[in-house]
Amino acid sequence: MGARKQRSPDLATIAVHTGAEQRDSDLPVVPPLYQSVNFIQDVGTGEGLRYPRYGNAPNAELVQARIAALEGAESSVLLASGQGATACALMALLRPGDHLLASAFIYGGTSQLLTTEFTALGIDVTLVNPLETRVWRTHVRKHTRAIFLETPINPTCRVLDLRPVSYVTKEAGIALVVDSTFASPINLRPLEYGADVVIHSATKYLNGHHDILGGVVCGTSSYTDEVRQKMKLWGQAPDPFAAWLLERGLKTLDVRVQRHNENAMRVAEWCAERKEIRRVHYPGLPSHPDHQIASETMSGFGGMMAIELTGGARAAERFLKKLKLFRHAPSLGGVDSLVSEPRFTSHAHLTPAERAAVGIPDGFLRLSIGIESAADLIDDIEQALR
Ligand SMILES: *Cc1c(COP(=O)(O)O)cnc(C)c1O
């Protein structure tokens, strides 16, 4: 009998164990929370100095090992928020005079960070429509250092194909940076498709319980060392308690995301049959423009979807007031189902006509499908449409 080939663990197992594999007698099964900012240091050396702001608090180190393993990255850094993660990830790549080519369809906070703060630092930023053909190749310049994009895109759930973008970044010798918050590593691992850096708002699916802020940057060890240095100097490290809660949240990442995927598919299919709903945006539906790309590159279609009510803004307001299970709140990616109206949140700065032009007409609602029973979620939508 030949020796059984050694398999590497699946994501569901990594999510529970990686980074905390101690098996000695008497150790607690749950990694303890080290809610301490100071750690006793060896005399006569500066080596091994631990301080949470340096990114080496024990609870942060555990989470960093686990998330790196989930993304298939050499290393990761945990930061205080998704916004802090994006800021430090890009500051580690860009210097004054450099050019950043970014998708225009990104989180509002990121877009403001790029167009106000980064521009003030002397970094040249170009925002482009990522759905236009050959757009990346056309806009790469001599001083371009990185391409930044998000997929799936908020709130239209468009899915970008990373493969052609990575041909451009590899050829130009620049970094492809992907904010993969909407997908989570269960549904998409961007490094497998040529990305160099993966960013998450851990506030969303990674933690999944609506109770902490966090962010993470994944990449090579030499790159994450630079991100850690930015984090340390700009004070963007997480608190140990947030890291401890995130570790607990990560344990159920695989089961949660599977359920988000199943629920969203059922809700999307149901909504697609209703005359009160003009359009459903969900990459799992064959009618979605990116269904093919999503099927090829993602392991699941995700828990985010959007609907457009036939009755427009007035119908949306009535619908929101009648919902009982879905709560009207921004943010996403947690166990509770939430609904938000981009015209009052991420796209409030545009006029109705401008919003319609980017595919978000009045009456457009974004749904973050939770892990409740899909039948109950559908009942809730049905009674609110009546
Ligand atoms: C929420 C979010 C962010 C910002 O993360 P915070 O944890 O709120 O700082 C960045 N990108 C995407 C796609 C997000 O959804």
Average of per-residue pLDDT values in the chain? 96
- Reported as a single tens digit per residue, the pLDDT across 227-247 is 999 999 999 999 999 999 999
| Domains of the chain, each with CATH number or no CATH | 11-250 (3.40.640.10), 253-385 (3.90.1150.10)
Q: How far is the CA of 225 from the centre of ligand 1 (A)?
A: 22
Q: How far is the CA of 107 from the centre of ligand 1 (A)?
A: 7
Residue nearest to atom 7 of ligand 1 (CA): 82
**What tokens does 12 get?**
């569901």
d(CA 140, CA 129): 14
pLDDT at 2 over 60: no
Q: How far is the CA of 201 from the centre of ligand 1 (A)?
A: 5
Catalytic residue positions, numbered:
53, 107, 179, 204
Out of 204, 206, 331, mutate this one to test ligand 1's pocket (max ligand atoms within 8 Å of CB): namely 204
**What H or E segment, with its residue span, contains residue 124?**
strand 124-128
Which residue in this structure is represented by tokens 């949240």? 249
- Reported as a single tens digit per residue, the pLDDT across 296-316 is 999 999 999 999 999 999 999
Tell me what the mean pLDDT of segment 370-376 comes to. 98
d(CA 285, CA 347): 25
> Edge to edge, what strands does the sheet with 175-179 contain?
75-79, 215-219, 197-201, 175-179, 144-150, 99-103, 124-128
Out of 106, 158, 187, 203, mutate this one to test ligand 1's pocket (max ligand atoms within 8 Å of CB): namely 203
CA–CA distances in Å: residue 192 to residues 6, 10, 29, 187:
21, 15, 32, 12
Strand 197-201 and strand 215-219: the pairing is: antiparallel
94-115 as b/e: b if 16+ CB within 10 A = beeebbbbbbebbbeebbebbe
Q: How far is the CA of 273 from the centre of ligand 1 (A)?
A: 32
167-183 as b/e: b if 16+ CB within 10 A = ebbeebebbbbbbbbbb
- Using pLDDT thresholds of 50, 70 and 90, give the confidence band for residue 160: very high
CA–CA distances in Å: residue 337 to residues 163, 185, 210, 327, 328:
32, 20, 11, 7, 9
Q: Which atom of ligand 1 is nearest the CA belonging to 202?
A: 7
Tell me what the mean pLDDT of segment 154-177 comes to. 97
Pocket lined around ligand 1, Cβ cut-off 6 Å: 81-83, 107, 109-110, 150, 154, 179, 181, 201, 203-204, 213, 215
CA–CA distances in Å: residue 366 to residues 144, 234, 344, 345:
34, 33, 11, 11
- Reported as a single tens digit per residue, the pLDDT across 20-68 is 978 899 999 999 999 999 999 999 998 889 999 999 999 999 999 999 9
